[in-house]
Homo-oligomer: A and B are copies of this chain.
């Protein structure tokens, strides 16, 4: 609590409580003079965190939206809420965001104090009390272990149940964890079988990082190619056909890095997009997430579903 650094963090956390603080209040809390408080405020502003000040009587300081995210300083229960929220996003989130959600969740889990970790686990179980849902769901704990091991390039031991229901112990070097539609796949080098394999995350149990470093490396394009056929095996049941009011390049950029995107072709100034999925809900979300105008050519179920959403969201 001595240096100016931790004081700045405390100051930031106070300002994040979304109320105004007068200089005197802050000075008292931080145990420094008014002058130093203002110098600290200046410093935060220089660091890019915009702080508004109300002049005059009853004035004060307030953190407002800027151009970049300030560090989030969370209380215990807030951290738990964030962790639980991220579980739902990562496991059954929006396309394009499953990945970000999992990254954030891993980040948070890594530094989550153990007393909170336990609460997240029990509350997480409690939160699963709704909607069985057709989607095969994955335990978020398993996902975070895999994500951490992948990022850290550590070997993993785990149990895997293959397509025919046989469970076997595996020793792998994780290469990439990727969401294809609403399923998570781990692409890894299988040390026993001495070859690259992909594993459906919902069939993995009890994974743990061994601490040993992974050695094998696979270029990203090979990872994608490797998943292509998992992709095909899924036999999606709905097929959307849409004209996006987006230039081809923009459309391709927004769809970048996702599998199961189907065909993307230029169509005048617009882009034609044909994509398939298991549910119209998923197609609808994918489409809305693109955040652009579009003309839907089919199928009818998707059109109805979009109309229903439109009606609900105003």
Contact = CB atoms under 8 A, between A and B. Distances in A.
Interface of A: 3-6, 8-9, 12-13, 16-20, 43, 47, 49, 58, 62-82, 84-90, 93-94, 96-97, 99-101, 103-104, 106-108, 110-114, 116-117, 119, 122-123, 125-132, 147-148, 151-153, 213, 281, 284-285, 288-289, 291, 305, 309, 312-313
A242 to B, nearest CB: 15
- For the residues of A in contact with B, the DSSP-based class is helix
Number of copies: 2
A117 B18 contact: no
A289 B58 contact: no
B84 A152 contact: no
A18 B107 contact: yes
A78 B104 contact: yes
Contacts of A96: 77
Contact of A281 (B5, B93, B130): B130
A207 B186 CA distance: 45
Contact of A119 (B58, B73, B291): B291
Contacts of A17: 107, 151
Nearest to A20: B152
A69 B103 contact: no
Given A65-B113, A81-B101, A100-B81, A309 B152 contact: no
Taking each of A5, A49, A152, which has the highest tally of chain B beta carbons within 10 Å of its own beta carbon?
Answer: A5
A106 to B, nearest CB: 5
A105 to B, nearest CB: 8
Contact of A18 (B19, B89, B93, B152): B152
A151 B72 CA distance: 18
17 contacts: A62-B152, A64-B110, A65-B117, A69-B74, A69-B113, A77-B97, A77-B99, A78-B107, A80-B97, A81-B90, A82-B89, A84-B101, A85-B85, A125-B288, A125-B313, A127-B285, A132-B312
Nearest to A99: B77
A67 B112 CA distance: 8
A111 B47 contact: no
